Amino acid sequence: MAERFRGRRALVTGASRGIGAAIAERLAAEGADVAITARTLDRHDHLAGSLRETQARLERYGAQVAIVVADLTDEADRRRIVPDAVDALGGPIEILVNNAAAAIYANVAEFPARRRNIIFTINVYAPLELAQAVIPAMRDVGEGWIVNLSSATTDLWHGPPFKVGFLGTTHTIYGASKAALNRTTNGLAVELYGTGIRVNTVQPVSAVVSEGAVELVGEFLRPEQIESMEEMVESVVALCDCAEDVTGRIAVSRELLAEWQLRVHNLDGTPQ
């Protein structure tokens, strides 16, 4: 098993289940100490997974694991996530993975203001604020990795006529928030170029079947629209360990794997 993240400290948001939990496991399997944050400490009211379960998975690799229970819609919670993670892990965060996302689907013309605010707070403002919180320490040591997870819903429809698919336009606001995240990623990378801090975004080709995705659109997904959890995680961890000149990219998972000729590994770090 590789040890490329040995001695590194990572923070992964949305790590109680799904892609976030899988990323956290892969980082721990390759030697990182990991702070995991989400709202669900022990049990969600209808989704499988919790921070306690993720912690147990990570500790099997001998990793130091810090749990930070937080609600990204709460400003006070957002402010304390990084300080709490730093205190618990005993040093500054070197790898930040902004995975947490709010996906609420509804027609654009009737989209409620409260739900719009939740989506943009969690998908845009929280990743930026967490990045701002880790940047000073990264700048001090001259290196750091920030990886934001985006979505294929940023793609535009061209027409008329428009081919919008089975979801119609209901994921427009979610996609708009991810487009804003992509733009923020790119701008932050431009500002930080030369400091050793890499800032990148990666998105799945279409969908990864996580607990949340199944809840939202699972019944509509076709096999060709799905990529494995391991493929998505492989592309994310590649950007957690990329060279200094790899920054400002808006990458698509499978395209990145092909470009870099990366072999996909299991979540425990062993080759498939």
pLDDT of residue 224: 58
Give the count of beta carbons closer than 10 Å to the beta carbon of residue 15. Answer: 32
Report the alpha-carbon distance of residue 172 to residue 34 in Å, rounded. Answer: 33
pLDDT digits (tens, 9 = 90+) for 27-57: 999 999 999 999 999 978 778 899 999 999 9
pLDDT of residue 219: 54
pLDDT digits (tens, 9 = 90+) for 224-255: 568 999 999 999 999 999 999 999 999 999 99
How confident is the model over 3-28, as a mean pLDDT? Answer: 97
pLDDT of residue 261: 98
For the question of whether the overall pTM of this predicted structure is more than 0.85, the answer is yes
The 3-state DSSP composition of the chain as helix, strand, coil percent (nearest 5) reads 45, 15, 40
Domains belonging to the chain, first-starting first, are 9-100+134-152+181-259 (3.40.50.720)
What percent of the chain shows pLDDT beyond 70? 93
Q: Report residue 142's pLDDT band, with 50, 70 and 90 as the boundaries.
A: very high
Catalytic residue among 105, 125, 174, 193: 174
pLDDT of residue 43: 78
Report the alpha-carbon distance of residue 262 to residue 264 in Å, rounded. Answer: 6
CA 203 to chain centre: 9
pLDDT digits (tens, 9 = 90+) for 177-229: 999 999 999 999 999 999 999 999 999 988 897 555 445 445 555 555 689 99
Using alpha carbons, list the distances in angstroms from residue 127 to 65, 96, 123, 261. 21, 9, 7, 29
Residue with the two structure tokens 């996609």: 175
pLDDT of residue 178: 98
- Judge whether residue 162 has pLDDT over 50: yes
pLDDT of residue 214: 47
Pull the structure tokens for residue 170. Answer: 């209901």
pLDDT digits (tens, 9 = 90+) for 90-104: 999 999 999 999 999
Active site includes 174?
Answer: yes
pLDDT of residue 212: 52
